[in-house]
A and B are shown apart, each in its own frame.
Chain A
Amino acid sequence: MNRRDIRKAMDQIHISAEMQEEMIANIQEQMLHGKKRTWSRKKPWGLRPPLC
C-alpha cells in the first residue's frame, strides 16, 4: 500500500449532487434568515461521566 493507493481509493469518493443542492438550500436559509445551526455543542446526557 502506498501514496498512490490511498489517493486512488479516496478519489472514488464524491459528494452527491442531491447533497450539494440540499446544502446550498440550507446555507441560503441560514445566511439569509439566520436559522439556527443544525447541530448543537451540548453534550448528550448519555455521554456524561458518572457522578461517583
Chain B
Amino acid sequence: MGIEQDIRDAVLKYSDMLYRICMVILCNEQDVQDAMQDTFCRYLEKKPDFCDREHEKAWLIRVATNICRDMVRLRIRHPKICIDELEDSLAAPEQKEILKELFELPVRQKTVIYLHYVEGYHIKEIADILGTTEGAVKMRLRRGRKQMQLSWKESCNG
C-alpha cells in the first residue's frame, strides 16, 4: 500500500510540471508519457534525500530533461505533434503561435527558455540543473529569444 500511495502522490504532485517541460522538448504525447514514467520510476527507486521542495523539483527537472535529451538524440520515433491537436482550448490564436515558435526551437534553447520564463529559474539555477555554465545558459537564452522574436515578426508580417 505504501509504494502505491507514494506513486500516486508523486504523480499528482509533479506530473503537470513535468508534462509541460517534456512536451516542450519532445513535442509528442506518447514520448512524453514514456519520459515521465521513466523519471518517476527513477525518483521512486532512488528516493534521494532532498533539502527542500525546490531541491526535489530541480532534481526531477534535471532527470526529465536528461531522459528527453537522450530520446531526442537516439531516435525520433514519433512525428511532432500539431499545435492545433495539442490544445483546442487555447484562448487566443497568438498563444498557439507562441507555442509553435517555442516548440520549433532547438532542444537546448527551448529548455532554457522554458525554465527561465515559465518556471522562473535564474540563470545560475538553470546552469546547476542542466549541468552547464552560466555563460552557456545566457547564450542559449539570447539565441532562443532572438529566434522567437524573428519568427514572431515574420508571422505577423506574413
Contacts and interface: CB of A to CB of B under 8 A. Distances in A.
Interface of A: 1, 3, 5-15, 19-20, 22-24, 26-28, 30-32, 37-39, 41, 43-44, 47
Contact of A13 (B20, B40, B75, B91): B20
Nearest to B99: A9
A42 to B, nearest CB: 8
A27 B94 contact: no
A1 B152 contact: yes
Interface of B: 3-4, 7-8, 11-12, 15-16, 19-20, 23-24, 29, 31, 33-34, 36-38, 40-41, 44-45, 70-71, 74-77, 86-87, 89-91, 94-96, 98-99, 102, 113-114, 117-118, 148-149, 152
B71 A39 contact: yes
Nearest to A41: B74
10 contacts: A6-B117, A13-B19, A23-B37, A27-B41, A28-B3, A31-B44, A31-B45, A39-B38, A39-B71, A44-B75
Given A31-B41, A38-B34, A6 B98 contact: yes
B7 A27 contact: yes
A30 B19 contact: no
A27 B90 contact: no
Given A5-B94, A23-B15, A31-B44, A13 B86 contact: yes
Contacts of A32: 3
Contact of B90 (A9, A22, A41): A9
Closest 4 CB pairs of A and B: A15-B19, A9-B95, A9-B98, A39-B34
Nearest to B98: A9
